[in-house]
Amino acid sequence: MKVTAPISRIDEIQALAAAGADELYCGVVPKEWIARFNTGAVNRRYFGNLGGLEELRDAVDLAHRCAARLFMVLNAQSYGGSYQDALVELASRFRDFGGDAVIVADIALIAELRERLPDLAIHVSSVAGCRNSAGVGLYRDMGVRRVILPRDVTLEEIGAMAKAADGVEIEAFVLNDGCVFEEGACHSIHLPPKQGGPICVDNRAFVYRDARGGQISERTARKLRENDEDYQRWLWYRFGCGFSTTAEGYPFGPCGLCAISRLEAMGVTSIKIAGREGATERKLKSVEMVRAVVDRVHGGGSHQDVSNYAVGIRKTEEHCRAGFMCYYPEVRWKEVRTLL
Amino acid sequence: MLKVSDIAEFLRDDAAIETLPGDAAASHLYFGSEFCEHLFPDREALGRAIEVSGKLGLTLVLATPVANDALVAKIGAAAAALPETAEILVNDWGVANFLRTAYPRVCLVAGRQLAKMIKDPRVPSAAWMKPYPSSYGTPGHRRLLERLGIRRIELDVPPFATPDLFSVAGIDLSVCLPYAYVAKGRICKIGSLRRQLPEKFAPGRPCHRECLGIVEVGVNASPAGLVSSARGNSIFYRHDTAMAALVRNAVALGQVTRLVFSGV
| Digit-coded pLDDT (tens) for A243-270 | 899 999 999 999 999 999 999 999 999 9
What is the pLDDT confidence band of residue B197, given thresholds at 50, 70 and 90?
A: confident
| Digit-coded pLDDT (tens) for A23-38 | 999 999 999 999 999 8
pLDDT at A119: 97
What is the pLDDT confidence band of residue B189, given thresholds at 50, 70 and 90?
A: very high
What one-letter code names the amino acid at A189? I
Rounded CA gap, B137 and A80, in Å? 9
Rounded CA gap, B183 and B232, in Å? 11
pLDDT at A44: 87
Q: Is the pLDDT of residue A340 over 60?
A: no
Write down the pTM of the prediction: 0.96
The structural domains of chain A, with segments of one domain joined by +, span: 2-178+252-337, 198-238
What is the pLDDT confidence band of residue A335, given thresholds at 50, 70 and 90?
A: low
Share of chain A above pLDDT 70, in %: 98
Share of chain B above pLDDT 70, in %: 97
For A216, which residue in chain B has the nearest alpha carbon? Answer: B214
Q: Is the pLDDT of residue B1 over 70?
A: no
Q: Is B122 on the interface with A (CB under 8 A)?
A: yes
Mean local confidence (pLDDT), B34-51: 96
Angle of helix B69-81 relative to helix B43-56, nearest 10 degrees?
40
Phi, psi of B182 (to 5 degrees): -105, -25
Out of A78-82, B15-19, B132-136, least confident range: B15-19
Of A78, A191, A231, the CB nearest to B117: A78
Mean local confidence (pLDDT), B81-86: 97
In angstroms, how far is the first alpha carbon of chain A from the final one?
A: 18
Which chain A residues in 211-240 lie under 8 Å from chain B, judged by CB atoms?
211-212, 216, 220, 223-224, 227-228, 230-231, 234
Which chain B residues in 80-99 lie under 8 Å from chain A, judged by CB atoms?
92-98
pLDDT at A338: 54
Measured between beta carbons, the chain A residues lying within 8 angstroms of B132 are 41, 76-80, 189
Element of type H or E holding B139: helix B139-148
| Digit-coded pLDDT (tens) for A150-167 | 999 999 999 999 999 999
pLDDT at B2: 65
Q: Is the pLDDT of residue B240 over 90?
A: yes
Mean local confidence (pLDDT), B234-249: 94
| Digit-coded pLDDT (tens) for A170-200 | 999 999 988 899 888 999 988 888 888 888 8
> CB atoms < 10 A from the CB of B194, how many?
13
Q: Is A332 on the interface with B (CB under 8 A)?
A: yes
Across the interface, do A187 and B235 touch by the CB < 8 Å criterion?
A: no
Which chain A residues in 83-112 lie under 8 Å from chain B, judged by CB atoms?
83-84, 106-112
pLDDT at B12: 75
A97 to each of A53, A70, B103, how far by Cα in Å? 9, 11, 44
Mean local confidence (pLDDT), A121-138: 97
Element of type H or E holding A135: helix A133-141
| Digit-coded pLDDT (tens) for A287-329 | 999 999 999 999 998 999 999 999 999 998 889 888 899 999 9
pLDDT at B264: 73
pLDDT at B24: 84
Looking at per-residue confidence, does B20 or A79 come out higher?
A79
> The domain A2-178+252-337 belongs to what CATH superfamily?
Copper homeostasis (CutC) domain (3.20.20.380)
pLDDT at B236: 95
Q: Is the pLDDT of residue B26 over 70?
A: yes
Across the interface, do B68 and A84 touch by the CB < 8 Å criterion?
A: no
Q: What is the count of residue pairs from A and B with beta carbons less than 8 Å apart?
A: 253
Measured between beta carbons, the chain A residues lying within 8 angstroms of B66 are 129, 131, 182, 184-185
Q: Is the pLDDT of residue B11 over 80?
A: no
Of A109, A209, A323, the CB nearest to B198: A323
Q: Is the pLDDT of residue B174 over 60?
A: yes
Mean local confidence (pLDDT), B80-90: 97
Residue pair A143/A122 in contact by the 8 Å Cβ criterion: yes
Residue-averaged pLDDT of chain B: 93
Rounded CA gap, B173 and A79, in Å? 20
Q: Is the pLDDT of residue B4 over 80?
A: no
Task: Give every strand in the sheet of B59-63, ordered side by side.
Answer: B28-32, B59-63, B87-90, B107-110, B152-155, B172-177, B258-261
Burial of residue B39, with CB atoms counted within 10 A of its CB: 0-12 exposed, 13-18 middle, 19 or more buried: middle
Torsion sign (Cα): A232, B230, A218, B219: positive
Give the domains, in start order, of chain B with CATH numbers. Answer: 4-179+239-261 (3.20.20)
Of B66, B185, B192, the CB nearest to A180: B185
pLDDT at A226: 97
